[in-house]
Amino acid sequence: MSVAYIVEENISLLNLKGLLLDARFEIERRMTCGSYAEIYIARNLAPRKDEPETVIVKALNLSLQGECDPDLERTLIENIALEAQTMKRFHHANIVRLFAYGKSLSNDGRQFYYLVLEYMPGRSLAHLCRSNPLTFEKALDYTEQIASALSYAHAHDVLHRDVKPNNIMLSADHRLVKLLDFGTARLLNSDNGPITKVGTDIYSAPEHYSQSHIAGVKLTAAVDVYALAKNLYFMLTSTPPYAFKQQQITSLPAPLDSQPWAEAVLRVLKKATCDNPTDRHQSVRDFCEDLRAITEQTVHSSRRWQNSETLHAPKSSRIVIEVTPPQPRYYGATLKAFGQRSTAHAAYLANFFLRSFNPAWTRACSLLQRAGSTITGFCQWTWQLLKAAPFGLFARIATVILICLALLIATPQLLKWWRLPPSTNPSEQAETPVLENLATASTDINIRSGPGSKAQKIGLVERSSKVRVISFSRDQRWCEIEVLQHGREKEDPSSSDRGWVSRTYLMFE
């Protein structure tokens, strides 16, 4: 490798060390690089709720492969925007969590898009199984966890389309697996244009690569079932299914083919990887039920091939692995991190109060002062009335009761008097920061006459179009927009440029 090449390679990488994202994620070091993204370890200086202190930052770098084609650049930006919009809706134990996303500038002034994701220290399933095939029980455990994540995504009308070992991450003790990378996801019950080539061809269903025999067929959950079956083959054999690239799995290698469960597992894998989607399992739940039936039938015979470590495992399909004991804490570093978190948190709170609550606090103080003056005056008047009353104790008590009844009756009117009228002075009005007024369409979106999928279609927002958000529906799921700039020439000149669209497919600036 020449010196000139090394210099060029270093220049193409982003300089992000020490950068603070979203006012609380401090980047520490680069972990690895992909084709168009760099992965960094970052420290969460102000964790919220159950957020961890260590997170991952996925930074999109369009210069890693040299000069990027404009169409490819647009596609990569759309993919990371789609991944962010999809993952922010998901909350599942087997899906990597998304903490923040947006765009920022590197230390050398280069703009990049980023995702802040959950850190899984156990690395990927590809790394675990590279030279270490799993037992059938452990492979079934992982498969059920992945299937749970896919079933959750399908229930939210999302197909993953890129299920592969590199996109399946493990916890430190290898008990928990989580699915990531929804950058090539697609809506399950919507027509988003022609089927595109995505994923890795040895795991992805043939619908994504050869459409001649299935032209016009709509994508279903069967595409993720196909990929999940290929991943199970990899877990059992520790070898990617190169021999069955874009083909049905028809055999298991030795010595797996002699196991008591081999014939039944092969029958399930054959069905899940049929070329025709309608011949496969139509849901990941059906696929897992067939695998569980195999476990119930072979639970006794499978004890013969388990090693001594597994012989004492419980009879369920999940294997209990001992958790590593806690390591000693270094309090100097802890105090330093606490100070950094406190500083960042205080700055965030100060900025939040100054921008949002300062005008409201001024109005509230004015209201309380006015109410206090009214109550004080009333109490003084009542006390003077009672002192000057020329009648006995019983009459004074009766007077107090009458005054209390009058207060109860007059309370609604008093509340109206105490309310301050809206300020007409622009300088006195609360400043409401506009956070989401401009957006970009991540795909072609139907414009409807009202907030809801049943409303009449009156136009189309083309992919990459610039829109201005006018208002939101009560459930915040639909936006009233006006198209400022079309992503491509309008196919129908009479199509309306204003109406309601689903918020899911908008990338806000």
Question: What's the rounded Cα separation, in Å, for the pair 46 and 20?
Answer: 12
72 is written with which tokens? Answer: 């490819």
Region for 55 from its dihedrals, namely left if φ exceeds 0, alpha if ψ lies in -120 to 50, beta otherwise: beta
Q: What is the pLDDT of residue 63?
A: 84
Q: Supply angle C-alpha 185, 190, 192, rounded to 5.
A: 65
Beta-bridged to residue 460, according to DSSP, are: 446
Beta-carbon neighbour count of residue 465 at 10 Å? 22
262-272 vs 284-298: helix crossing angle, rounded to 10: 170
> What's the CA gap between 417 and 377, in Å, rounded?
15
Helix boundaries (H) for 218-330: 222-237, 262-272, 284-298, 308-311
Burial of 411 (0-12, 13-18, 19+ CB in 10 A): exposed
- Burial status of residue 35 (CB atoms within 10 A of its CB: 0-12, 13-18, 19 or more): exposed
The yes or no reply on domain 438-508 and CATH 1.10.3720.10 is no
Q: Which residue has the tokens 């016009």?
A: 216
**pTM for the whole structure:** 0.57
| Domain coordinates in residue numbering, the chain | 3-118, 125-311, 358-428, 438-508
Within 10 Å of residue 180's Cβ, how many Cβ atoms?
A: 25
**DSSP letters for 311-326:** HTS-SSSSPP-PPPPP
Read off the DSSP letter of residue 487: S
- Between the alpha carbon of residue 74 and those of residues 62, 198, 247, 502, the distances in Å are 10, 16, 32, 21
Q: Are 31 and 40 in contact (CB under 8 A)?
A: yes
Question: Is the backbone of residue 480 left (phi > 0), alpha (psi -120 to 50) or beta?
Answer: beta
b or e along 124-157 (b: 16 or more beta carbons within 10 Å of the residue's beta carbon)?
A: bbeebbeeebbbbbbbbbbbbbbbbbbbbbbeee
Per-residue pLDDT at 324: 43
Amino acid at 80: I
| End-to-end C-alpha distance for the chain, whole angstroms | 41
Looking up tokens 């009202």, which residue turns up?
450
Per-residue pLDDT 10s for the chain (509 aa) are: 433 333 344 558 899 999 999 989 999 999 988 878 999 999 999 898 889 999 999 999 988 877 778 888 888 898 899 889 889 889 999 999 999 999 999 998 889 999 999 999 998 999 999 878 999 999 999 999 999 999 999 999 899 888 999 999 999 999 999 999 888 888 776 554 444 556 678 898 888 765 544 445 678 899 999 999 999 999 999 999 999 988 999 999 988 889 999 999 999 999 999 999 999 999 999 999 999 888 776 654 444 444 434 434 444 444 333 444 444 444 455 555 556 556 656 656 655 555 555 555 556 666 666 666 667 666 666 666 666 655 566 666 777 787 788 777 777 766 665 554 444 443 433 333 344 588 888 888 899 999 988 899 999 998 888 999 998 888 888 999 999 988 888 888 888 999 999 888 888 87
Q: How many CB atoms lie within 10 A of CB 396?
A: 14
| Furthest CA-CA distance within the chain | 111
For residues 14 and 106, the answer to whether their CB atoms sit within 8 Å is yes
Neighbouring-strand partners of residue 385: none
DSSP secondary structure letter of residue 190: S
C-alpha span between 279 and 267 (Å, rounded):
13
Q: For position 358, what pLDDT does the model report? A: 52
Residue 197: DSSP 8-state: -
Is 2.60.40.60 the CATH number for 125-311? no
3-118 folds as Phosphorylase Kinase; domain 1 (3.30.200)
DSSP state for residue 37 in the 8-state scheme? E
Residue whose tokens read 């689903």: 502
Q: What element of type H or E holds 447?
A: strand 445-448
Residue 420 near residue 367, CB atoms below 8 Å: yes
Which is nearest to 125 in space by CA: 206, 228, 212?
228
Task: Assess whether the previous peptide bond of 328 is cis (omega < 30° from 0).
Answer: no
3-118 with 438-508: one CATH topology? Answer: no
Closest alpha carbon to 204 in 170, 244, 169, 251: 244
Structure tokens at 473: 């529906």
Instruction: With residue 11 as reference, give the H or E element that holds it.
Output: helix 3-12
How far apart are alpha carbons 163 and 273 in whole angstroms? 14
Q: Which two three-digit tokens encode residue 336?
A: 């330093």
C-alpha distance from residue 177 to each of 111, 139, 295 (Å): 33, 11, 20
Amino acid of residue 412: P
Q: Give one word for 164, left, alpha or beta, with left for phi > 0 and alpha for psi -120 to 50.
A: beta
pLDDT at site 234: 95
3 state SS for 335-400: HHHHHHHHHHHHHHHHHHHHHHCHHHHHHHHHHHHHHHHHHHHHHHHHHHHHHHCCCCHHHHHHHH
pLDDT for the residue 409: 77
In Å, how far from its chain's centre is CA 395?
70
Spatial separation of the C-alpha atoms in residues 38 and 236, rounded to whole Å: 30
Q: What is the pLDDT of residue 172?
A: 92
